[in-house]
Homo-oligomer: A and B are copies of this chain.
Amino acid sequence: MTPKTAVILAAGLGTRMGGKPKGLLKVAGREILYRTIYLLQKNGVEGFVIVTNEKYAGLYREFIERHGFSAELVINPEPEKGNGHSLHLAGEHVSGKFILVMSDHVYGEEFVAEAVKGDGLIADRRPRWADVSEATKAKVKDGRVEDIGKSLREWDAVDTGFFVLNESIFEVTSELEQELNGDYALSEVMKRTRLPVTFVDGLPWTDVDTPSDLKRARKMLIKSAPKGTGDGFISRHLNRKVSTEISYLLAEKVTPNQMTAVTFAVGILSAVLTLISPPLAGITYQLSSILDGVDGELARAQLRASRLGGYIDSLLDRYVDGAFLALLAYSTLTESLWYLVALIALLGSVMVSYSTERFKGAFCRDAYKEVTALRKLPGKRDERIFLTMLFLLYPVETSIKALFLLLAIITNLRVAVTAYLISRKVSHPKTI
């Protein structure tokens, strides 16, 4: 069971970030805290307790009201003391099991989904994004915190700033309050209780201390946004590498819907260019194929993914492909027989997508997840577009005819194999 409450420590004065509260800095167009609360809510957390200082309380109150979050503010009047004191102050507002999380850490979807299921300190033995030299490290023995600190020589894992705790922790903070006059760090609490450790390794999370950390966090969100299961060979090895760089540059300024419109416009432009210069048209078409990944990447990084967005994007892709093939045929072919081949290639090109989408319509499941063999089948959109570009680089009549013939064969063969694989899978009663 995921805890229903989360405590967020946001009392730090953030001296390296120009005095702005770090939780309210934006990464990929969203405040760090918006992101954390959104993802925790998605995983079942219902209420939030934000511990902040007097200086930032107004900003955080405004933030909570603007988003309509179910959160209460607790003021730490002595934010200069160690952050253990901030946790202690939250004690009156929580009961049972709860999550404790830092306001200056940026977490990815997959990380949060795993971390909420853990117990004690969530620690990462293979941190991919965090700056390890600046991070707090933990030495673990028998599944519990043995030692913890920034400058440990020997350590097992890095503190992710994410904890799953129980109210009994406040007995320990009460002791420490008395012994240390309220000035003690979370790490003291962890050592004293020998907190259990759960390893969540290699998933996206990082903390933000300096402006350059913000850029690293943005890159993390773009790169670790879950990819579409329908990505083909060209997409995995070329398009995604470029599109994530573009998404990184646009993440703070451009919305997914704007990007969908731009991509569609570039695609239609490429179709029109077939009338002027097939090589240029091919290159522009491939460019539109790269851009086609950006709207989805932005949507996931900005927490703006929507099924409607995916629906419209998918219709527009079909129209770009249709327009490209229709205008390429119109501008280069003369014989009826080759027009017949072009008509069949256009049909097949839409049917590749139809044959997997119609499966989803019938079974409410992703064809690529249910029938994994489909992933290896050639003929996906990214591959077809790359092939089209190659054939158009030195356009002679033969190469364009060969292209149409090849597309007509590849696409319709792929549809036939898809229907066969799906029939075989569905007839196997254990799975669907």
A interface residue numbers (CB < 8 A to B): 307-308, 310-312, 314-315, 318-319, 322, 325-327, 329-330, 333-334, 336-337, 339-340, 342-344, 346-347, 350-351, 353-355, 357-364, 415, 419, 422-423, 426-427
- B346 touching A343, Cβ below 8 Å: yes
Complexed CA–CA distance, A363 and B355 (Å): 17
- B343 touching A322, Cβ below 8 Å: yes
Starting from the known contacts A311-B422, A322-B347, A322-B351, 12 additional A-B residue pairs (CB-CB under 8 Å) come to A307-B363, A308-B362, A308-B426, A314-B358, A315-B354, A327-B340, A329-B340, A330-B339, A333-B339, A334-B336, A350-B351, A360-B360
Q: List, sorted by A's number, 27 A–B pairs whose CB atoms are closer than 8 Å.
A: A307-B362, A307-B363, A308-B362, A308-B426, A308-B427, A311-B358, A311-B362, A311-B422, A314-B358, A315-B415, A319-B351, A326-B344, A327-B340, A329-B343, A330-B337, A333-B339, A334-B336, A339-B342, A343-B343, A346-B346, A350-B354, A354-B357, A357-B357, A357-B361, A358-B361, A359-B361, A364-B364
Residues of B with C-beta under 8 A to A362: 307-308, 310-311, 360
Q: Given the known inter-chain contacts A315-B354, A360-B361, please indicate yes or no for A343 contacting B342, CB distance below 8 A.
A: yes
Min Cβ gap A338→B in Å is 10
Residues of B with C-beta under 8 A to A329: 339-340, 343
Name the 7 nearest CB pairs between A and B, nearest first. Answer: A360-B361, A326-B343, A322-B347, A364-B364, A330-B340, A307-B362, A357-B361
Nearest to A342 among chain B residues (CB) is B343
Complexed CA–CA distance, A386 and B390 (Å): 42
Copies of this chain present: 2
Complexed CA–CA distance, A344 and B350 (Å): 12
- A347 touching B361, Cβ below 8 Å: no
- A325 touching B343, Cβ below 8 Å: yes
- B364 touching A315, Cβ below 8 Å: no
Residues of B with C-beta under 8 A to A336: 330, 333-334
Min Cβ gap A148→B in Å is 46
Complexed CA–CA distance, A357 and B308 (Å): 13
Complexed CA–CA distance, A365 and B343 (Å): 31
Residues of B with C-beta under 8 A to A427: 308
Residues of B with C-beta under 8 A to A340: 326-327, 329-330
Residues of B with C-beta under 8 A to A315: 351, 354-355, 358, 415, 419
Residue among A314, A350, A415, A419 with max Cβ neighbours from chain B (10 Å): A350
Min Cβ gap A33→B in Å is 24
Complexed CA–CA distance, A337 and B326 (Å): 10
Min Cβ gap A412→B in Å is 8
Nearest to A355 among chain B residues (CB) is B315
Complexed CA–CA distance, A312 and B424 (Å): 12
Residues of B with C-beta under 8 A to A318: 347, 351, 354
